[in-house]
Amino acid sequence: MNRILIVEDEESIANLIRMNLVKAGFQCELASDGEEAADRIGERNYDLILLDIMLPKLNGYEVLEYAKEVDIPVIFLTAMGDTQQKVKGLKLGAEDYIAKPFEIAELLARVETVLRRYKKTERKLRLLDIEIDTDSRTVLQNGRQVDLTIKEYELLLLFVRNKNRALYRETIYENVWGGEYNGVGRTVDLHVQRLKKKLGLEEHIAAIYKVGYRLQV
């Protein structure tokens, strides 16, 4: 799973970005100022950094220098629409630049593009005898295509990208359905049961009492 660091001092924007990236199958961490971002870059490995320019303590250009030292690609996120600022960021080594406000679909597309450029994303995922093509959103099992609904496909992708990890029902619901889980209804359970049956994963997707599910491989 690709790990992305979101460096943004506006909490609402940071949480919105994280929610959508997690839904798309990425692992995300947040930093609210430049110093915290620099510390995290020194302590952890990231595949990509989404970086605001106007930050407390250290600005985005200074944080970019830390990222370049360990060869982590950066996409600048900023309210500055000024061409000069854009050119400066790109000249300093940023991979891309998106001016706020932006569409989440555009952000996701640019994230995927940069990760592919750095060969940090897989177009095909494999699990046992199952192959998932994330470009065409098709699933093959033993070479035969399996027809999944949109939610079943997204559920499978979430499990595969988080294999051997316990996933709370709340996490599953928020990632696949995109809303807040209220604990009512059996939407998650019913979709998990259908997915297990379609792909023969009864022995691999285990229910965890009072938690959710885990894909065990």
Query: Are 73 and 163 in a shared domain?
Result: no
**Residue range 113-142: average pLDDT?**
84
How far, CA to CA in Å, does 199 sit from each of 36, 141, 210? 43, 8, 25
Spatial distance between the Cα atoms of 91 and 85, rounded to a whole number of angstroms = 10
Query: Are 36 and 110 in a shared domain?
Result: yes
Query: Are 94 and 133 in a shared domain?
Result: no
The total domain count for the chain is: 2
Query: Are 111 and 149 in a shared domain?
Result: no
Residue 120 has pLDDT above 80, yes or no: no
- pLDDT of 77: 87
Query: Are 21 and 102 in a shared domain?
Result: yes
Q: Residue 195: give the domain boundaries.
A: 124-215
Residue 82 has pLDDT above 70, yes or no: no
CB 60, CB 51: distance < 8 Å: yes
- pLDDT of 110: 85
Query: Are 26 and 97 in a shared domain?
Result: yes
Q: Which residues on adjacent β-strands are paired with residue 30?
A: 6
Amino acid 201 reads L
**Residue range 57-66: average pLDDT?**
93
Q: Is 89 helix (H, G, I), strand (E, B) or coil?
A: helix
Q: How many residues does the chain have?
A: 217
If one compares 102 and 7, the residue with the highest pLDDT of the two is: 7
Cβ count near 14 (within 10 Å):
20
